[in-house]
Every structure is written in C-alpha cells, then in structure tokens.
Amino acid sequence: MALLSLSCMAVSMREATRYMGVADALAARCVVGVVGVLFAAILFPSLRGALAPRRLGLHALRNGVHFVGQYAWGLSVSLLPFARVFALEFATPVLTVLFAALLLRERLTMPRLFTVLVGAAGLVVITVPKTGEVDPLMLLPLASSAAFALAGIFTKRLTATVTALSVMFWMNAMQLPLNLAGADWGFWRSVPDAALLPLLGVCVSGSLAQYAMANAFRHGDAMVVVPLDFLRVPLIALVGAVFYGEALEPAVLVGAGIIVAGIVAGLRAEASRQVAVQGAADPAPIR
C-alpha cells in the first residue's frame, strides 16, 4: 500500500499543479488533515488529549523544517522525472544518521559511517550524469531529503512525550497558515473540475502512505522494509515512462541501488554489533 500511495501522491501532485500552485495543493491537504483529526476527536473523546498544546516550540521547529521539505518535494515532482526524485529521497536515511550523531549525540559507529559513505557514492552516481554537468533542479529533492531527515530527528524527540496523532494534528494546523501565505486565495473559488480528483489524491494518498509505512516498519523488520521501499524507484519510473514519456535513466536505478545496498548492509552490521555488545554485557550463567 505504501508503494502505491507514494506513487499516487507524486502523480496527484503533478496533475494538481497543472491548475494550481504547490502551496494551494498543500494547503488543501492541511485543511483535510485538521478537519479529519477534529472529527475523529469529536467521535472518540479518548483522542482529544492529542489536541492539547504541549511542546509547541518543538512542534513549531519540527513543522517549519517539514514544511520546507514538503514544498521542495512538491516542486520536485512537478519539475523533475519521477524516478530521479524518488531515488534522491534515499538520501533521507543517510542524512538521518549524520543528524542523529550531531543533534541526538548518537554514536557514529562503523556500520553507520559505512552507510553514509556508500550513500554519498550513490548520490554522486545519480546527480552527476555522463556530461559531468549537474542539473541545479536536483538540489530540490536533495533539500527535501535533508529537511525530512531533520524533521525525523525532531519527531523522535516529540514522540517521547506526545502521541503520533498530536504530531499529525499540529503539523497540519501549523503548516496551514504557512501554505496559505503562499497560496492564491482566488484558487478556492475557481478550482476546475479537472483538478478535483488529483487534489483529492494529494489529500488522501499522503495520509495513506504515512500510515502504511508506519505499519510496515511496525510489523516487519527494517532490513526487509527498506529494500522493499526501493521498489518505489522502478515502479514510479514505469509510471513516468508510460504516462509522461520520461526516459528510463540507468544511472538513477544504479545509484538508488547503491544507496539501498549501503543502507541494508549497514542495518545488518549494526544489528550484529548490538547483539555482540548485548552478549558481552550479559552476565555469565551460574554453573
């Protein structure tokens, strides 16, 4: 479901931005998010605690960074080939390792450092074509990946004391005025019928993607989920080729493969290291 939802989100965003700006589409998504959580809180009183204004400073910091990432991603899928955008998104887990070491004081172990170095090599393969000229537009998905990685670090801090529903509610509530500031206010009164379906896709598929990925990591090992997530690249490359005539770029698939291989190898090595450390820490059995 996550793979299909993310692909649907990309196609919906590209189609919606034919008739409106990125900020318009994201503002509509925020409205649906806020209304949806409020409606759920009315039906289920136990959820109302998620609306409490707790840790608003950290919420604001997280949502400001996430807003930059979402806007950059929206521009990316409207201007660049889908496969290239999705492949560059794999920079997010690589950058998360670096940000966790800098901001959360997590140890930059050898497996994690290996993931960073291999990920950097994959990014070079994707961003530097045979001509040696780098497309400046590729900075957009890279900026988006960096913002999402940083937002993930802040989310980790938030979820230590607040629920995931609280994060979702305050994300939409705080990002709504930011998107409205860049939106065309007349767009609300003149949305063409052709834009309604892709706009609905932006609002619904984004939420489904987040829910599906969260459940994938909850019910499956990360070492299984991450390589499955790589299927987004060939899937969206096929969508771009069939519906938009985008050329299949071997360098994008190769670079994404290098990044995912580094992530998976790093996860395996890190898991083995933690098992070894735990084994050394456990007391010897009494005979």
Q: pLDDT by residue (tens digit) across 133-177?
A: 677 888 999 999 899 888 888 887 887 788 878 888 898 899 999
Q: Is the torsion defined by CA of 199, 204, 209, 210 positive or negative?
A: positive
Q: Give the residue, 223 or 206, on which the prediction is more confident.
A: 206
The per-residue pLDDT for 214 is: 47
Give percent above pLDDT 90 in the chain: 18
Give percent above pLDDT 70 in the chain: 83
- Rounded CA separation 94/88 (Å): 11
- Rounded CA separation 38/34 (Å): 6
- Inform me whether the pLDDT recorded for 212 exceeds 50: yes
- Inform me whether the pLDDT recorded for 25 exceeds 60: yes
Q: Categorize the per-residue pLDDT at 69 as very low, low, confident or very high, splitting at 50, 70 and 90.
A: very high
- Rounded CA separation 57/257 (Å): 38
Q: Give the residue, 280 or 59, on which the prediction is more confident.
A: 59
The per-residue pLDDT for 194 is: 80
With beta carbons less than 8 A apart as the criterion, state whether 207 and 244 touch: no
Q: Categorize the per-residue pLDDT at 219 as very low, low, confident or very high, splitting at 50, 70 and 90.
A: very low
Of 47-51, 86-90, 116-120, 132-136, the range with the lowest mean pLDDT is: 132-136
SS3 category, 92: helix
Q: Categorize the per-residue pLDDT at 287 as very low, low, confident or very high, splitting at 50, 70 and 90.
A: very low
Ramachandran category for residue 249: left, alpha or beta (phi over 0 → left; psi -120 to 50 → alpha): beta
Q: Categorize the per-residue pLDDT at 128 as very low, low, confident or very high, splitting at 50, 70 and 90.
A: confident
- Inform me whether the pLDDT recorded for 270 exceeds 90: no
**Among 68, 70, 56, 74, which residue's Cα sits nearest to residue 173?**
56
**DSSP element (H, E) containing 275:** helix 250-281
- Inform me whether the pLDDT recorded for 221 exceeds 60: no
The per-residue pLDDT for 2 is: 59
Quick one: average pLDDT of 218-244? 63
Q: pLDDT by residue (tens digit) across 3-14?
A: 677 778 888 999
The per-residue pLDDT for 37 is: 87
The per-residue pLDDT for 130 is: 62
The per-residue pLDDT for 231 is: 64
- Rounded CA separation 171/34 (Å): 9
